[in-house]
Amino acid sequence: MSSRKVLNLRQSILKYNTELLKLKTHLMESNEANVKYNKILIKKAVCKKELEESNTSIVHKILKKFSKNNRDEKLICDYFNN
């Protein structure tokens, strides 16, 4: 992945962090803030996953592609660390 794409992903993650911090104080006050917080949290997780995938080597990507437990669809748990 190009360094420009990696830079954009990192900037997006930082932007989402600041938005999450601003919304954290309003979570108990309104349902709209809670919904917006969750949406931004998912967007941040997607960016983190893309950034993580950009750091993997080509050999690792090829092995992952041919592994038996490879699935085509993404699950929500794929974006969050355990």
What value does the mean pLDDT of the chain take? 83
CA-to-CA separations, 48 to 16, 54, 56, 66, 68, in angstroms, rounded = 11, 10, 13, 24, 25
Q: How many domains does the chain have?
A: 1
55 is a domain residue: yes
The answer to the question of residue 38 being in a domain is yes
**Other Cβ atoms closer than 10 A to 43:** 16
Which structural domain range is residue 15 located in?
3-70
Report, as an integer, the average pLDDT of 23-50. 90
**What integer pLDDT is reported at residue 62 of this predicted model?**
74
pLDDT digits (tens, 9 = 90+) for 2-30: 788 889 999 999 999 999 999 988 888 88
Q: By CB neighbour count within 10 A (0-12 exposed, 13-18 middle, 19+ buried), where does 47 fall?
A: buried
